[in-house]
A and B are shown apart, each in its own frame.
Chain A
Amino acid sequence: MYRYDQYDQAMVDARVAEFRDQTQRRLDGQLSEEQFRPLRLMNGLYLQLHAYMLRVAVPYGTLSGRQMRMLAHIARKYDRDYGHFTTRQNIQFNWIKLSDAPDILAELATVEMHAIQTSGNCIRNISSDQYAGVSVDEVTDPRPLAELLRQWSSFHPEFTYLPRKFKIAVIASPTDRSAMRLHDIGLELVERDGVVGARVFAGGGMGRTPMIAPEIRDFVPFGEIVSYLEACLRVYNRHGRRDNKYKARIKILVHEMGRDEYRRQVEEEFAHMKTLGLDPPLAELERIAAQFAPPPYEAGLADEIDLSDRDFAQWMETQVKPHKVPGYAIVNISLKPIGGIPGDASSAQIDLIADLAERYSFDELRVTHAQNIVLAHVKKADLHAIWRALEAADLATPNLDLISDIIACPGLDYCSLANARSIPVAQKIAQRFADIDRQKELGELKLKISGCINACGHHHAGNIGILGVDRKGVENFQLLLGGSGAEDVALGQIVGPGFDENGVVDAVEKATDVYLAHRIDGERFVDTFRRIGMAPFKEAIYA
């Protein structure tokens, strides 16, 4: 795991001091809200529906037990005893006082954390695969590159005021667990003739105008990725629409300019960039990569697991994934108890997860874009003990990638931009399908809910997606089918007129009935949808 060097720490400490002064001046009345607002946003502090909300960066979703414990401490001391893990692999606190914010940032800085660039038109938290470094099918650990890009993008003077926010995802396996092509730039590390480099996709995103990023280069050698991205961002920064917020994302530029023209300009810029020596020297790449060296795994561990306990076996089946080292496994911790709030964890739960990471997983955790937590290096022999501990804390729901493993944005219960509530809909659907055997019968089914067109809940990428809209002051929910954020990326299609809260739960159930009636040999929901198309679903749902 990456550890700050003296420059990283000095920068973060300096930022805390600066923000403390800015906050004091605001509280004293020397700064107006118009002057202060951009300053607080640069430090991840929003004003939401009920209070200030602080978004804390978790670079590529990786953190240590000590950092996790600090999040619990902040929830307990400064918030209302819980935090919300998000699709950007970050955490948000919903009940922050402005007067506490400098102290919170100072406490975060003691464990190498901050909230810089978690808002604003800059390069945001870089997301990555939660199984990085341990998945069986990856080419290399994607996180050293993600870390390099974090360092490149933090405080990058040219890209601090882009036309709009900018999101990058890095993966290194053909299985996409990061919705890579729904990012402004997606990088997939691949190996060609023994050389590692990146396939580059540009111009994806969700929001009001969802787009899947087209490939703009099929290989950039590892050592030139920074110059290449610099070129991509520079072309976007030059031509991105600053006159219209809704057309300002790179997806619109690539779409309007055309992929080929965008690529041509990027190549031209890249040829120039390469002459400037922007790319880091090999020694720096090695320094970063060394920080992600595999932990000291034990050799010769047993692979057998006693599955005689039915509940444990059930959990094993859904939550535990193969690890590339024999004797080890990957544990997925569900933050989706039936009827709970997707992504929320109490201080006590956060502390417990930190303990488990320290004790059983080489002190390392991952936040997933599906709002769950991963312990990435667990000895198979410890799985039973971990399960017992999780179960006691209501963290052992065996529903990974099943219909109740719902991604839901905070919606109108917390978010000032929302049109409708997302959480109650998620709760009702989970309750409708509470029976875990029924969920397993349905198999992989990714359901995602957003409370407005901004799509923070990834509804476009849901096999079943739900979008909250406002119809004359009343909450209304549109249903979408067929989306995917994985390597078979696709955008969901709207089924038809929307529903009220209970109506959309019924509509989801009808969609699953159509699937069960039509599926053939091992098809997932999304496969059946692709084969039979929208018509049978639409017919059943509006019958």
Chain B
Amino acid sequence: MNILTGNDLATGDVIWWTGEDWSLHVDDAVDVGDKGEEIAQAQAAARNVVVPYVIEAERDGTGIRPAHIKERIRALGPTVRLDLSLKPADPSAGNWVI
């Protein structure tokens, strides 16, 4: 699937397109098919998201997993500070990235 990501303009947070709005959680992302560019342009013009772009991802039993490690790190947070990640309570969260 193709999903749309970017950073929130005011906070810099990594965000994911849910079909209507933006979420902090990659699992909320929707498949944008081939409409990614179009949505990205409209959203960038609305100016609440910085440099939105489309990436490839997969849905598995646990949620949505971006294809590239860089995007998985963006989705999770730094693998070396799980306390600062989006899964601070899960000691094995880092494994999701690799």
Q: Name the contact of A49 in the complex, choosing from B10, B50, B68, B74 (C-beta under 8 A).
A: B74
* Bound-state Cα–Cα, A475 to B68, Å: 11
Considering residues B10, B78, B79, B84, which has the most beta carbons from chain A within 10 angstroms of its beta carbon? B78
Known: A418-B70, A473-B67, A475-B69. A50 touches B80 (CB 8 A): no
**17 residue pairs A–B, Cβ–Cβ below 8 Å:** A32-B47, A33-B51, A47-B50, A49-B74, A50-B12, A50-B14, A50-B74, A50-B77, A51-B7, A52-B12, A80-B84, A97-B10, A341-B80, A341-B81, A421-B79, A421-B80, A424-B79
The reply to whether B7 and A47 contact each other, CB–CB distance below 8 Å, is: yes
A: which residues have CB within 8 A of B? 26-27, 29, 32-33, 47, 49-52, 80, 95-99, 341, 412-414, 416, 418, 421, 423-424, 427, 473-475
The reply to whether B12 and A423 contact each other, CB–CB distance below 8 Å, is: no
The reply to whether B12 and A412 contact each other, CB–CB distance below 8 Å, is: no
Which residues of chain B are near A52, meaning CB under 8 Å? 12
Q: Name the contact of B44 in the complex, choosing from A33, A97, A412 (C-beta under 8 A).
A: A33
B: which residues have CB within 8 A of A? 7, 9-14, 44, 47, 50-51, 67-70, 73-74, 77-81, 84
Distance in angstroms from B55 CB to nearest chain A CB is 12
Distance in angstroms from A412 CB to nearest chain B CB is 6
Distance in angstroms from B10 CB to nearest chain A CB is 5
* Bound-state Cα–Cα, A475 to B70, Å: 10
Considering residues B7, B14, B50, B70, which has the most beta carbons from chain A within 10 angstroms of its beta carbon? B70
Considering residues B7, B12, B44, B79, which has the most beta carbons from chain A within 10 angstroms of its beta carbon? B12
Which residues of chain A are near B78, meaning CB under 8 Å? 50, 413-414, 423
Complex: chain A residue closest to B46, CB-CB: A29
Known: A33-B44, A412-B73, A413-B79. A98 touches B12 (CB 8 A): yes
* Bound-state Cα–Cα, A33 to B13, Å: 16
Complex: chain A residue closest to B44, CB-CB: A33
The reply to whether B50 and A412 contact each other, CB–CB distance below 8 Å, is: no
The reply to whether B9 and A26 contact each other, CB–CB distance below 8 Å, is: yes
Which residues of chain A are near B12, meaning CB under 8 Å? 47, 50-52, 95-98
Q: Name the contact of B70 in the complex, choosing from A27, A51, A412 (C-beta under 8 A).
A: A412
